[in-house]
Amino acid sequence: MNSELALSETTPGFVALVGAGPGHPGLLTLRGQECLQDCEVVLYDGLSNVEMLVHAPQAVHQCVGKHGQSRIWKQDEIIAEMIRHAKAGKRVVRLKGGDPAVFARTSEEVNALKAERVPFEIVPGITAALAAGSYAGIPITHRGIASAVALVTGHEEPGKAKSDLDWPALARFPGTLVIYMGVTTAKQWTDALITSGKDPETPCAILRRCSLQDQQKIQCRLDEVAGHLTPASKFRPPVITIVGEVTGLAESMDWFSRRPLSGKSILVTRPKDQADQLARPLEELGASVVVQPAIEIAAPDDWSDVDAAIEQLESFDSLVFTSRNGVRFFFDRLLEVGRDMRCLGGLKIAVVGDATASVLKSYHLRADWIPETFDADALLEMLQQAQRPLKSTLIVRTQRGRDVIADGLRATGASVREVITYENRDVAEMDPATRARLNEHPLDWITLTSPATARNVHRWLGDSIGETKVAVISPLTAETVRELGWRVDAIAKSATMHSLTQAILDAETT
């Protein structure tokens, strides 16, 4: 017998049925994150936020169905795929929207795993009904209004001869009803409740994409629900409907839609691995953020100049960094070629701002010079005023940008050497999915963090931005934007993501 086959037959893999929660990637449980970090295959459904896959970079990611983006897998196909991987000895995460135990067909998957003797674990997730209390201001129980709650499917298994739901009992239920999967059947279940005696004026709340930045909420009467869930309304799944007096608390308990940037759509154009530094604070203020990098950061094709400079570090009296990326690429290369921080000797180190100094600290080094204004002109002025004139300076930079510091130091008689430790490369085209999203939902703001970024985004969008506002990181970027013919609506007071976020916030609240 083939040894690999024998191993897979006697040593099955493992399956974790993990609840992905209502949508926001931060609502994944710690145990769910651990399972993702430890797995080899992720089978995720259309209600699982794909941002959670960042926890499983080592795994194969396989979508088992998302409306409009891939074919919808049948349940028996999903089960067969899950067992196939497990039988091959793989650790599998079956990532399911919400909680695996709430309308998720988990029992079918568990029965199949047990039949094949595949070990498994069920990891709870936050279901939409519970998330509604926090994100829509609707507590599904309330000591003075509703002491019970019923979770009800609005879409029973097709082909049933008779419904298992007792609509007269549900109409009399002394508490809150939460209807799952009830969009296409809204007319049937609302009529069933009303016919069974439920007051047609019962207050309801329809929630779409609960916990996500584009969460939507409609408050209405029970007899109006079906009219809000027609195909023409575009109020499409994922949707839950809450039926009961507790929905009247949504206004007083709402915090989500009252954040200062709620309803604002903002384009973040930073490189992919740096976008979160701007995207996250904007999202926390309520913005719906679209991340579309305009430039990508890459190592130089040829390290010879950098390597030569590293070998000659003892010949310099100062080292200048004009960006965080320069710090990372330079010191990573220094370590890669077999040297360490001792080779810096008595060099003085200058950085363009606090953010660059922070990265420097991660290498256990402190900057000697940090200008109060975070730009090249301010740093040059500080270096020119140093107590001891600089004689030999190494400047670490990208291939694009101004030569302010180098030219200014040379003018004082200093010997200056520049090395390129990373490159800013234009992203040729906007992602088609991003462009489609922008066509459907116009932007309120575009953020630009360098002249190169500004030029590339302008190449993509041109005059099509209309009334979209533009926020920039610095006066230099603002100058480029104006030269391109766009208006500048907000300028960061310092070249940091915090300051850029604050500039947008100030513009929106004044």
**pLDDT tens digits along 58-77:** 999 999 986 545 677 899 99
pTM summary value: 0.80
Joined tokens for residue 283: 């999202």
Same fold, 265-294+428-509 and 303-426: yes
Burial annotation 248-272 (CB, 10 A radius, 16+ → b, else e): ebbeeeeebbeeebbebbbbbbbbe
Please determine, looking at this structure, whether the domain spanning 265-294+428-509 carries the CATH number 3.40.50.10090: yes
CATH of domain 303-426: 3.40.50.10090
- pLDDT tens-digit readout, 145-168: 999 999 999 987 655 656 789 999
pLDDT, tens digit, 9 for 90 and up, residues 187-244: 999 999 999 999 999 999 999 999 998 899 999 999 999 999 988 887 888 899 999 9
Q: Domain extents for the chain?
A: 14-125, 129-252, 265-294+428-509, 303-426
Active site residues: 45, 66, 181
pLDDT in tens, 231-241: 888 788 889 99
Considering only the top CATH level, what class is 129-252? alpha beta
Cα–Cα distance measured from residue 288 to residue 267, given in angstroms and rounded to the nearest whole number = 9
Q: Name the residue among 171, 142, 44, 172 with its Cα closest to residue 97.
A: 44
Instruction: State the CB neighbour count (10 A cutoff) for residue 467.
Output: 8
Angle among Cα 134, 136, 142 to the nearest 5 degrees reads 65
Q: What backbone torsions phi and psi does residue 288 show, to the nearest 5 degrees?
A: -95, 110
Tokens of 173: 């239920």
Model pLDDT, residue 210: 93
Pick the CATH number of 14-125 from 3.40.1010.10, 3.30.70.120, 1.20.1250.20, 1.10.3430.10: 3.40.1010.10
Q: Which pLDDT value is given to residue 67?
A: 54
pLDDT at residue 9 in the model: 46
User: How does DSSP classify residue 332?
Assistant: H
Least confident window among 258-272, 388-402, 416-430, 458-472: 388-402
**pLDDT at residue 157, as a whole number:** 64
pLDDT at residue 79, rounded to an integer: 96
> Tokens at residue 204, please?
């309801």
Share of the chain above pLDDT 70, in %: 95
